[in-house]
Amino acid sequence: MARTSKEIATRWRIEPDHQVLETPIGTIRKGPLQSRTSLKRKDFYFFDFPDWVNIIARTPDNEILLISQFRYGTKRMELEIPGGMVDPGEDPVAAGCRELLEETGFMGKDAKIIGKVCPNPAIQGNYCYTILVENAVWTAEPHPDDMEEIDWLRVPEQDIDRYIKDGKIEHGLVLNAFSHLYRYKNE
């Protein structure tokens, strides 16, 4: 018999959690979870991150703006799209436009959300929004955050598939953003 998500959720007893570690990018929390059916109990960890944005910026010449930056997790340079954290109370579209300008110096028009995902619901509760910005043009010098050393490049939109197939773009949330773009273009 199929159960609704509300029925499944009521099978779990969520007890108060507590902070284990606070970092500049988020907090790690720990708390017990108990199954009401099996009575098993276990501590779970939760990465309390703010919402994020990824920006697909398309130039008037149908190029996509990509960035390259060092990522500590993979210990290498990664080819991505601009992105970052949404500040408390900030609209995701405004955050996307802010991050695009900070990281690349580009601004555009008709910014809109074309997708939203929960990056890892097993350990996170935040969302990552994909923002599409049209007619992006360079307007100012970039002002990246401390420890961000970002290079940007323009790639013809028709080459993005090849970049993905060739493994030049491997960041999961960036791949997800491009799947939102392809779905958006085909609606």
pTM across the whole model: 0.90
Q: Is 99 exposed, middle or buried (0-12, 13-18, 19+ CB in 10 A)?
A: buried
Please give the domain boundaries of the chain with CATH numbers for all domains. 8-48 (no CATH), 52-185 (3.90.79.10)
What is the spatial distance between Cα 177 and Cα 54, in angstroms, rounded to a whole number? 7
pLDDT in tens, the chain (187 residues): 565 655 555 677 888 899 999 999 999 999 988 887 878 888 999 999 999 999 999 999 999 999 999 999 999 999 999 999 999 999 999 999 999 999 999 999 999 999 999 999 999 999 999 999 999 999 999 998 888 899 999 999 999 999 999 999 999 999 999 999 999 999 8
The length of the chain in residues reads 187
